[in-house]
Amino acid sequence: MELISSVISLTFLAQVLRLMTPYYLGASGANFSERGGVINIAIEGFMNLAAFSFVLFSILTGNVTAGFICAVLINLLFSLFFSYFTVKLKINQIVTGVGFNLLIAGLTKFLLVYIFNSSSNTERFEGIPDLEIFKGIPFAGTVLSDYMTIFCFALIFISGFVLFRTKYGLRLRSAGENPYAAESLGVNVRLYKLSGILISGFLSSLAGIWLASNQNSYSDGMIAGRGYIALAAMIIGKWKPVNIFFACLIFSAFEALEITLQISGTDFPTQLIQMLPYLITVLVLVGFIGKTKPPAADGVPY
């Protein structure tokens, strides 16, 4: 009974909305990339790289703002490398994405040991401070005290407007639907593909920064597949910002349930509880197979 009351409480709902943040940032980033016709499997790696870079430079400089800027810039640099392989050299996008994920996982692990003399985690630091203006308001204060979460709510409308109400969005979508037709009308397809990848790198960097800031440290494996789950949410959401948001809420709700079950001391096996978000991802994807239609030229080199 206590478990049920915990799940239907406003506290649980607030936790779901906060945990949605990295999923929606990652899924929105992947959406911009795929709208331009580039499959970005490297979202997982970009989130990992940003989380590590943010913690590293925040500790080295003693300033979270400097850490934030450095993490975003490093992610944009790696996004340029990713676009060079996928857009310029036309290497298979799935293979390139997996390669970047493995490269970044190895790089962060090496630097973690080399700089912090630990194979598991960094020292703790003060993350991004909360927004104090809403702090005293019940429920809203929990959700709206987080800058990134507020940005996520705004991003639903921003991405929808940019993709479907602007000239840029039309050209980006044309690059992902029919690049040859777009090129014949004077659209620089490669430039728009590059821009989609850079936006993807920026948004995924925010997801990694959020995770590191809330944990107040970086630990090996802390991304825990959230980048892949974000890709699943994008597919379930049919590449539409509002739909993606609700898909992300599904996954964050199960992550919040996992945390609640662990805290409640239930007799459920710990391993089963921890696999809940990933199990739900597989089951939901199986249910949506064949029911979603990606951009026509998504993943096709041009």
Cα(90)–Cα(83) distance, rounded to whole angstroms? 9
What's the rounded Cα separation, in Å, for the pair 87 and 94?
13
DSSP H or E stretch at residue 239 = none
End-to-end, the C-alpha distance of the chain in Å comes to: 57
Quick one: DSSP state of residue 131?
A: P
Q: What is the pLDDT along the chain (302 residues), one digit of tens a residue?
A: 555 655 667 777 888 889 999 999 999 999 999 999 999 999 999 999 999 999 999 999 999 999 999 999 999 999 999 999 999 999 999 999 999 999 999 999 999 999 999 888 899 998 888 877 767 676 666 777 888 999 999 999 999 999 999 999 999 999 999 999 999 999 999 999 999 999 999 999 999 999 999 999 999 989 988 999 999 899 988 899 999 999 999 889 888 887 777 776 666 666 676 677 777 777 777 766 566 788 999 999 88
Name every residue whose Cβ is closer than 8 Å to that of residue 5 and which is 6 or more positions away in sequence.
Answer: none
Phi, psi (deg, nearest 5) at residue 174: -65, -35
Instruction: Give the Cα separation of 57 and 55 in Å (integer).
Output: 6
Q: What is the pLDDT of residue 129?
A: 87
**pLDDT at position 282, please?**
77
What local confidence, expressed as pLDDT, does residue 71 receive? 97
Domain ranges of the chain: 24-224
pLDDT score at 277: 72
pTM tops 0.75: yes
> What per-residue confidence (pLDDT) applies to 133?
76
The answer to whether the beta carbons of residues 208 and 71 sit under 8 Å apart is yes
Residue found by looking up tokens 């030229």 in the block: 297
Q: Which of 191, 182, 168, 169 is nearest to 80 (CA)?
A: 191
How much is the pLDDT for 4? Answer: 60
Instruction: Report how far residue 58's alpha carbon sits from residue 45's, in angstroms, rounded to the nearest whole number.
Output: 20
**How is residue 121 annotated by DSSP?**
B
Report which residue type is found at 41: I
pLDDT for the residue 261: 76
CA 100-53-200 angle, to 5 degrees, is 50
Per-position b or e across 237-270, b if 16+ CB within 10 A of its CB: bebbbeebbebbbbbbbbbbbbebbeeeeeeeee
Are 19 and 255 in contact, with CB atoms under 8 Å apart?
yes
Give the distance from CA 177 to its chain's centroid: 23
E-assigned strands of the chain? none
Q: How far apart are CA 197 and CA 29, in angstroms?
A: 8
Q: Are 264 and 57 in contact (CB under 8 A)?
A: no
So what's the pLDDT on residue 284? Answer: 72
